[in-house]
Amino acid sequence: MAKDSFHVCVKSELENGDVKIKGSRNFKNQSSEYQNLLTWVSKRIKPFHDSPIFVMEATGVYHENLVYFLYEKGQSVSIVLPNKMKYFTKSFNIVTKTDKLDASIIARYGIERKMKLWKPVSPVYLQLKILNRKKLSFKKQRTRSKNQLHALKHAHQSPKSAIAITKKQIAFYEKSIHELDQEIAALIKQDPELDEKIDKAATIKGVGRQTVIALICETNGFELFKSIRQLVSYAGLDIVLNESGKFKGKTRISKKGNSRIRSCLYMPALAAKQHNAKLKDLNDRIVLKNPDIKQKGTVACMRKLLILVYTLWKKDEVYDEKYELNITK
């Protein structure tokens, strides 16, 4: 998938296990071409009475219009993360890269793997995600501008015009963040049930409404997951072991998941390990075992907060500090 075009390859697995190419073609990435795609595909699968699965690699936002079109037409759609396709391609020892070849490999991946079908995000969560991501972007830019202003004020003979422009940038970001906060709050207030659930999850010490909103935005209200393990992996907070024979390497988190989830959990984890008795105890125990890597305690608190929010959201309950949560699932 690209901004202006996308390449399609149709493959089918025969009864003897062989894979046959039914066709390959390039289409323009515009709504008027999407129906032509369906017509072209149907002609190549009709004699075999197959029900096609449209598998595509997530490429920024350029695949989204086609995904929603296919879903609305009742087609089965699956989205593959780029890193998965990267390692799958490496397994064939292929060094050449073209759109036609990429489409062929993606089609092969769809045949060899059990594909998880894509479902659209709830309209409310989709709007919240767009607004919240924009707010987070402005916050980062505001921090960058504040650092630049600090540097300008302490530099030798900085032009007053540069300082003034930087102050205007900061003011713009602060105004925009405030407006986005108001729009997010208004959108949530339209759904009293959603508003109440956010309040309940935000009863965890160290976690505020903003953190809960960020988490449900990025997870479609946790509808993407059937277990805690899936959620932790999606957030990139799952533990990666590095062992072979007598070699015992360092353990670390994968960081292969949603970086925004990890980002929004970091500051709450720092607050929680100071004011939440259970998380403080968790942090102290891990730091005691790893005195040279104290960050492990913070990461453990991030993971625990994520699990707590997920559990309260699913059960629609408020946080009870005296309740012992079983996280061995």
pLDDT in tens, 32-63: 999 999 999 988 886 555 688 999 988 778 99
Q: Are residues 258 and 285 in the same domain?
A: yes
Model confidence at 4: pLDDT above 80: yes
Domain of residue 183 covers 123-190
Specify the pTM: 0.80
Domain boundary residue, one of 112, 137, 166: 112
Q: Is residue 196 part of a domain?
A: no
Residues 6+ away with beta carbon under 8 Å from 169: 141, 145
> How many domains does one find in the chain?
3
Model confidence at 328: pLDDT above 70: no
Model confidence at 213: pLDDT above 90: yes
Q: Is residue 118 part of a domain?
A: no
Distance, CA of 80 to CA of 17 (rounded, Å): 23
Angle at the Cα of 50 from the Cα atoms of 45 and 51, rounded to 5 degrees:
110
Model confidence at 325: pLDDT above 60: no
Using the structure block, give the residue that is written with the tokens 């339209």. 190
Q: Are residues 153 and 173 in the same domain?
A: yes
Using the structure block, give the residue that is written with the tokens 């390859």. 9
Query: Tens digits of per-residue pLDDT, 193-207?
Result: 999 999 999 999 889
Percent of the chain with pLDDT over 70: 93
Domain boundary residue, one of 171, 190, 209: 190
* Cβ count within 10 A of residue 236: 16
Distance, CA of 149 to CA of 274 (rounded, Å): 32
Domain boundary residue, one of 63, 79, 112: 112
Q: Are residues 75 and 167 in the same domain?
A: no
Four-residue CA torsion sign, 52, 57, 60, 62: negative
pLDDT at 329: 41
Model confidence at 130: pLDDT above 50: yes
Query: Is 87 buried (19+), middle (13-18) or exposed (0-12) by CB count in 10 A?
Result: exposed
